[in-house]
């Protein structure tokens, strides 16, 4: 009889959410939107400085030196067209109108002038003028390419020593560590926000909404225990919030490589093993239960859904601030007492999982602490359902 009540309430809540197509869409849409948006943003940022691969930009050059001609030929990627000094103004206009990608004006006898130049002498160095158009992606990227070539040429002329010329692997961080650090700085914040959003999408509606519409009292006059209502609602809301959070999280993980523009095998969630994911799932589950309980309590104080949404605002700010602390890096905290602070402990556990620096005792402490907080919250919620002042406040 006891558990029957919990199950009946859970089933009703789930039927409420999954029977309503709009609700289902509003729960699953965020993940899809995040994926599409992040992918699109990544692509847009990539194409801002990139040009089509087979495009060969045209550069008009005045006084083309043999050395530069050889350099460009060796690297490829642009077509040099020698031009007379008299055509400079015309070429500048062409660059301005984006008809021409680049105009480079070298001093006459550039190679001899460079060879004769002594930096210690204090005279002006030979000056190359390169005209480009920052509004054109092709012109901008050609400009970068040519200045890069010339800079490298200049460095080569004055070569005194090299750094990392051996062609070996010098970054000793493994791909796994790099990706781990990246995920650990970003994912806890995103996950916390997604979980919070998932909870806020359903809990105020289910509790303050029922109060507002007067339907909760109809349940309260049946012999079902108040505690069963509280537990049944929290479990059902947690399921819905988890789905919503999972949808957003999957969208993010799939889109992240596209967002940062890395090849997807360099920044992939594949670096984490089954154990990591299980640990993460446990942390997320305990976080969602706690969040749903907190938001349910706040919603029970409210008379309307709108009021409830105002009450939970401070919690959102708190969740975001705590999520941002993950960005300070340094891996997970090792002191156990950090793991007793609700919500902050979730962030620390996530940082630990993502950066491969999990403090096992810490995660255990966090899960236990969250379970205790949730049970206390359910107890409080039951007391509130019993309070006529709160349930029937108008």
Interacting residue ranges for another protein, rule: CB under 8 A: 1, 4-5, 8, 12, 15-16, 19-20, 210, 213-215, 217-225, 388, 392
Q: Which is nearer to another protein, 76 or 214 (CB)?
A: 214
Q: Which is nearer to another protein, 157 or 217 (CB)?
A: 217
Residue whose pair of structure tokens reads 């969250």 in the numeric block: 370
Kind of pairing between the strands at 129-131 and 102-105: antiparallel
Least distance CB 212 / another protein (angstroms)? 10
Q: Which is nearer to another protein, 19 or 168 (CB)?
A: 19
Q: Which residues contact 273 (CB under 8 A, 6 or more apart)?
A: none
Least distance CB 350 / another protein (angstroms)? 35
Distance CA 360, CA 353 (A): 10
Q: Which is nearer to another protein, 69 or 215 (CB)?
A: 215
Give CA separation, 172 vs 175, 178, 383, in Å.
9, 10, 57
Least distance CB 228 / another protein (angstroms)? 9
CA atoms within 13 A on the CB side of 172: 0
Q: Which is nearer to another protein, 275 or 393 (CB)?
A: 393
Phi, psi of 261 (to 5 degrees): 75, 5
Distance CA 388, CA 216 (A): 12
3-class DSSP state of 79: strand
Least distance CB 224 / another protein (angstroms)? 5
Least distance CB 235 / another protein (angstroms)? 16
Q: Which is nearer to another protein, 301 or 338 (CB)?
A: 301
Least distance CB 1 / another protein (angstroms)? 6
Q: Which is nearer to another protein, 83 or 206 (CB)?
A: 206
Closest CA to 240 of 3, 19, 1: 19
Helix (H) or strand (E) holding 64: none
Q: Which is nearer to another protein, 6 or 267 (CB)?
A: 6
CA atoms within 13 A on the CB side of 68: 31
Q: Which is nearer to another protein, 1 or 317 (CB)?
A: 1
Closest CA to 94 of 147, 129, 131, 134: 131
Least distance CB 394 / another protein (angstroms)? 10
Least distance CB 8 / another protein (angstroms)? 4
Q: Which residues contact 5 (CB under 8 A, 6 or more apart)?
A: 224, 225, 228, 229, 232
Closest CA to 106 of 74, 124, 129: 129
Give the Cβ contact number of residue 279 at 10 Å: 20
Closest CA to 255 of 45, 59, 99: 45
Least distance CB 365 / another protein (angstroms)? 37
Residues paired with 224 in a beta bridge: none
């Amino acid at each position: 009889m006891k558990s029957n009540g919990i199950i009946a309430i859970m089933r009703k809540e789930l039927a409420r959410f999954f029977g309503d197509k709009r609700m289902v869409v509003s729960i699953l849409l965020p993940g899809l939107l995040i994926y599409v948006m992040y992918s699109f943003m990544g692509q847009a940022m990539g194409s801002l400085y990139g040009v089509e691969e087979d495009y060969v930009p045209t550069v008009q050059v005045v006084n083309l030196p043999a050395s530069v001609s050889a350099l460009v030929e060796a690297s490829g990627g642009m077509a040099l067209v020698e031009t007379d000094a008299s055509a400079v103004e015309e070429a500048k206009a062409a660059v301005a109108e984006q008809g021409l990608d680049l105009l480079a004006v070298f001093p006459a006898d550039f190679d001899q002038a460079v060879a004769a130049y002594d930096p210690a002498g204090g005279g002006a160095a030979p000056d190359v003028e390169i005209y480009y158009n920052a509004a054109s992606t092709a012109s901008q990227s050609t400009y970068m390419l040519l200045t890069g070539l010339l800079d490298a040429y200049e460095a080569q002329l004055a070569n005194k020593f090299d750094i990392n010329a051996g062609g070996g692997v010098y970054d000793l961080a493994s791909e796994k560590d790099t990706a781990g650090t990246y995920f650990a700085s970003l994912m806890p914040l995103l996950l916390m926000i997604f979980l919070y959003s998932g909870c806020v999408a359903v809990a105020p509606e289910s509790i303050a909404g029922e109060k507002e519409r007067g339907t909760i009292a109809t349940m309260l006059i049946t012999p079902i225990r108040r505690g069963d209502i509280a537990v049944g609602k929290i479990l059902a809301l947690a399921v819905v919030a988890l789905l919503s959070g999972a949808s957003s999280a999957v969208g993010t993980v799939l889109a992240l490589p596209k967002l940062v523009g890395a090849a997807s095998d360099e920044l992939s969630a594949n670096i984490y093993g089954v154990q990591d994911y299980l640990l993460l799932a446990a942390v997320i589950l305990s976080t969602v239960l706690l969040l749903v309980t907190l938001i349910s309590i706040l919603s029970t104080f409210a008379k309307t859904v709108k009021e409830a949404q105002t009450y939970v605002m401070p919690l959102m700010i708190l969740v975001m601030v705590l999520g941002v602390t993950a960005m300070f890096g340094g891996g997970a905290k090792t002191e156990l007492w950090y793991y007793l602070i609700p919500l902050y402990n979730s962030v620390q556990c996530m940082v630990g999982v993502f950066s491969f620096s999990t403090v096992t005792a810490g995660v255990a402490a966090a899960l236990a602490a969250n379970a205790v907080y949730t049970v206390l919250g359910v107890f409080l919620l039951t007391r509130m359902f019993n309070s006529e002042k709160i349930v029937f406040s108008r």
